Structure 1
Amino acid sequence: MNQFATLFPALVFLIVFFSSGKDFVLATQALMIVMTGQVIYEKISKGKVNTKLFYAWVALILLGSLTVLFRDPIFLQWKFSIINWIFAAIIIGNHLLKRPPLMKYIMGSADNAFKGMTDKNWTFVSLLWGYVFLFQGTINLYFIFYTSLTTWVNFKFFGILAINLITALIMVIYLSQQGKVDFEEKT
């Protein structure tokens, strides 16, 4: 369900963009409404808002508002790079400062599936995602400046989804080879 909640705003954006004759401003407004709804729902149902969702929402409201105000997609297009670079800087910076692997705290409580992982395993996972975030933020610039808006929208949804799935697969293969992940179904 959490994966769907993460993809839902992007899916709404995609549907509105293509069904409205590629109206980026209208799609941006729809995205802002949906993510605001998610933030409100999380606050009411859970008492707090997921940190990643909150910061993504703040960036969306700021840059999305500029996109709508100036009727220019560049502001929203840059949001993706900025958010990913911030995540990369936090994860990689945490490693460079020789602090415990950050992904250990982010993923460590996932149904005990990752019990028994060493700091070396967590460091690999942290750096894998840190460099993927750095790559995604950077490759986004190529699609902003060297492709059409439609190509960027397709890349943003389908390309990033593919990159994230491949990264997750690499992580799972690595951890399963290390014997550090438990995929047994709990009954």
Structure 2
Amino acid sequence: MKLLFDLLPVILFFAMFKWGEANPDAAQQLASHYLSGLVAGGSVSLAQAPILLATSIAILATLFQIGIQLSRRKKVDTMLWVSLAIITVFGGATIYFNNESFIKWKPTVLYWCFAAALLVARFAMQRNLIRSMMGKQMTLPEPLWDKLNLAWVMFFLAMGVVNLFVAFNFTTATWVSFKLFGFMGLMIAFVIAQTMVLSKHMKDPG
């Protein structure tokens, strides 16, 4: 359930884009009705309507995630606030300039922010965030925690590069699908590989 909640903006982004792609006239009418006042020039083209609708729903979904957390009086994770800021800035630019290039940069900026957070926490604050998250599940020598932290940094940097490659070398429809399924697959593969390497260090739940 938590995974679905975390992926809600991405899932809704994908679903709205695919709906708009399959129903271009309806998508243009919907986008023109709700977004024309936010678009420079006030006109939403048939081709851009799906990505503009998908972007707007992703912004709303991220706001919804934070609203749910606040309504339950739970602490909102810092990276969720960062995600909201990034999707608002890049998504807002996409809508205003009627240009999908901005939203295509959003995953890369987010992944690179993750990488920067891990590096800054480790070297400026002397805190290993990966150890903070995973220390209850396994016991590792300090040098191995640092290597694991660096592995995640490199993974996020690579994910950012992959996003740019797909975004600007393939169609928008291909990028939207890869954004959900491709990145999820890469993340799962990385976690499985990491688990296999570190399995001997896992604590026995009993």
Amino acid at match of 2:148: V
Match in the other structure for 2:62 = 35
Deviations 1:67-123 (A, max 9, x none): 111121111111111111122223245556693433112333xxx322x22223322
Query: Which runs of structure 2 are paired with 1:12-27 in the superposition (5 Å)?
Result: 12-21=12-21, 23-27=50-54
Q: Secondary structure at the match of 2:140?
A: coil
RMSD value, Cα: 2.0
Residue 94 of structure 2, aligned match among 67, 73, 82: 67
Deviation at 1:47, TM superposition (A): 3.6
| Structure 2 residue ranges without an equivalent (≥5) | 23-49
C-alpha distance in 2 between matches for 1:53 and 1:152:
23
Residue 154 of structure 1, aligned match among 173, 177, 183: 177
Percent identity over paired residues: 25
Deviation at 1:130, TM superposition (A): 0.7
C-alpha distance in 1 between matches for 2:106 and 2:152:
18
TM-score (norm 1): 0.86
The alignment of Structure 1 onto Structure 2 pairs a total of residues equal to 179
Amino acid at match of 2:166: F
Name which of structure 1's ranges 18-27 and 34-43 shifts more when overlaid on structure 2. 18-27
| Structure 1 residue ranges without an equivalent (≥5) | none
Query: Which runs of structure 2 are paired with 1:1-187 in the superposition (5 Å)?
Result: 1-21=1-21, 23-95=50-122, 99-108=126-135, 112-114=136-138, 116-176=139-199, 179-182=200-203, 184=205
Deviation at 1:25, TM superposition (A): 0.4
Distance verdict in 2 for CA 1:2–1:132, change over 3 Å: same
